[in-house]
């Protein structure tokens, strides 16, 4: 999904880092955050800005811009994905790194938060170009990552193959194989069972728990999903397994709608073949914006940031919004959804299944063991249910939204770690 991004210096609804700071500010007020901790959390601990020159297939050299932002590591090694997208900005990567920090804290896994991004258009690059880009980027940040420092993973337009290249490049530099330096890698290299659909699985479990709290039966309920990448397509398939009728899905080229629902696995196969969900048989086309405003029970934004804004939030009719994407809802839109009593499961809870199974992968790698898919899924389910319950209880206790509650829980945990470590020197 293409989103417009404004200059990073102006404070506005569409700047992701401004939004992350607004959330921090609001949470600091809600929980009475220690001002020293607040001061520390306004900035990432480290920002790496690297140039990545590679030879293109046509023989010329192109120099790409890449970032790795390490936001906070008070609770454990930095952790977070790497995004390849033409609209990547430093402010976006900073926001995503902050959100990773909160996400790992809500899930209560021993990680800090980081994120990487490279400004490129992977859809128009060959496999060879993507491999050279990935290897050169890895070499540029190699001194700052590693199993106990910072553990990358996939994000938008990166996948297990990308992780395999990172693993190989990092290992060549170290002189020995270091499988635990990345997660979301192929199973053949120590990847975890269940990691491929873990983001969606967590998101659907969270939606299921939310449905229970409002007494919504899932069998026969309807859903719309914006974005049909890894998180979106698997969310559709897993919702269907629970009896939910998926009536609309979309990707960057547009959306499809059928009020009777469709077979998401067939849609996935169609997208695999044609490059888009658009044109799938028996559906009418729908724009990404109209999809968000459909009268469905469950809405899953699974694309990019800033999709639900002050402009369209008032038109959202879904009872439950489960955020598979990072930052799809702006703080201004949050206030409107709150007023309209939409039960929103915030990104840092709803999409934490990905990093939870990344953590399980890392634990398996460090122990040189391999779990079954059933073991991984059971552990994931238990962790998401615990995070959902803690967030829900917090929201009742503080009388705030699920977003505010999740942020409160996370920032309290990170703050406690910072204060307990103390400020050196
Ligand atoms: N990119 C994913 C996220 O935003 C996964 C991160 C990870 O597994 O480290 O949560």
Q: Which atom of ligand 1 is nearest to the CA of 154?
A: 1
Residue 184 region by backbone torsions, left for phi larger than 0, else alpha for psi between -120 and 50, else beta? left
Cα separation, 113 vs 128, in Å, equals 30
* From the candidate CATH numbers 3.40.50.720, 3.40.50.10860, 1.10.10.10, 2.60.40.3080, the one assigned to the domain spanning 16-180: 3.40.50.10860
State residue 11's pLDDT score: 64
Q: What is the distance in A from the centroid of ligand 1 to the CA of 153?
A: 6
Pocket residues: Cβ below 6 A from ligand 1: 79-81, 103, 153, 155, 183-184, 326, 351, 354-355, 358
The model carries a pTM of 0.96
CATH number of 198-341: 3.40.50.720
Residue 271 falls in the annotated catalytic set: no
The residue to mutate among 76, 81, 82, having the most atoms of ligand 1 within 8 angstroms of its beta carbon, is: 81
Mutation to probe ligand 1, out of 100, 115, 156, 350 (largest number of atoms < 8 A from CB): 100
pLDDT of res. 12: 79
What CA–CA distance (Å, rounded) separates 95 from 70?
11
CB-CB contact of 205 with 170 (8 Å) = no
How far is Cα 394 from Cα 166, in angstroms, rounded to an integer?
39
> Domain residues of the chain, as ranges?
16-180, 198-341
Is residue 196 within 8 A of residue 206, CB to CB? The reply is: no
Ligand 1 centre distance from Cα of residue 184 (Å) = 9
* Cα-to-centroid distance, 326 and ligand 1 (Å): 9
- For 27, 300, 305, 355, 368, the CA distances from 254, given in Å and listed in that order, are 36, 16, 17, 28, 44
pLDDT of 8 reads 41
Out of 45, 94, 103, 115, which one is annotated catalytic? 115
340 C-alpha to ligand 1 centroid (Å): 30
For the chain, residues with pLDDT lower than 50 are 1-9
């Amino acid at each position: 999904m293409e989103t417009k991004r404004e200059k990073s210096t102006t404070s506005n609804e569409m700047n992701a880092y401004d939004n992350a700071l607004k959330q921090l500010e609001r949470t600091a007020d809600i929980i009475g955050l220690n001002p020293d901790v607040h001061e520390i959390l306004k900035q990432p601990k480290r920002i790496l800005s690297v140039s990545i020159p590679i030879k293109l297939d046509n023989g010329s050299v192109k120099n790409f811009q890449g970032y790795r932002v390490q936001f906070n590591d008070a609770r454990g090694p930095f952790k977070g994905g790497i995004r390849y997208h033409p609209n990547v900005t430093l402010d976006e990567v900073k926001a995503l790194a902050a959100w990773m920090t909160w996400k790992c804290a809500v899930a209560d896994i021993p990680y800090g938060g980081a994120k990487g991004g490279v400004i490129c258009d992977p859809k128009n690059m060959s496999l060879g170009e993507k491999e050279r880009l990935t290897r050169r980027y890895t070499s540029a940040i190699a001194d700052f990552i590693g199993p106990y420092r910072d553990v990358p993973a996939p994000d938008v337009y990166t996948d297990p193959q990308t992780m395999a290249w990172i693993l190989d490049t990092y290992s060549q530099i170290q002189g020995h194989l270091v499988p635990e330096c990345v997660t979301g890698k192929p199973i053949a290299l120590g990847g975890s069972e269940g990691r491929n659909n873990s983001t969606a699985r967590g998101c659907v479990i969270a939606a299921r728990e939310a449905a229970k709290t409002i007494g919504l039966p899932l069998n026969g309920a309807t859903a719309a999903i914006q974005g049909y990448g890894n998180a979106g397509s698997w969310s559709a398939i897993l919702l269907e397994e629970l009896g939910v009728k998926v009536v609309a899905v979309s990707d960057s080229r547009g959306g499809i709608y059928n009020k009777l629902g469709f077979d998401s696995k067939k849609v996935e196969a169609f997208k695999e073949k044609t490059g888009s969900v658009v044109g799938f048989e028996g559906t009418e086309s729908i724009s990404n914006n109209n999809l968000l405003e459909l009268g469905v029970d469950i809405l899953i934004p699974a694309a990019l940031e800033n999709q639900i804004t002050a402009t369209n939030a008032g038109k959202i009719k879904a009872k439950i919004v489960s955020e598979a994407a990072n930052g799809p809802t702006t703080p201004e839109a949050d206030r409107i959804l709150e007023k309209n009593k939409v039960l929103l499961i915030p990104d840092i809870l709803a999409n934490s299944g990905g990093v939870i199974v990344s953590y399980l992968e890392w634990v398996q790698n460090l122990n040189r063991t391999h779990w079954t898919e059933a073991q991984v899924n059971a552990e994931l389910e238990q962790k998401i249910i615990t995070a959902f319950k803690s967030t829900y209880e917090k929201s009742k206790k503080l009388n705030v939204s699920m977003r505010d509650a999740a942020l409160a829980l996370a920032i309290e945990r990170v703050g406690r770690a910072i204060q307990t470590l103390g400020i050196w020197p």
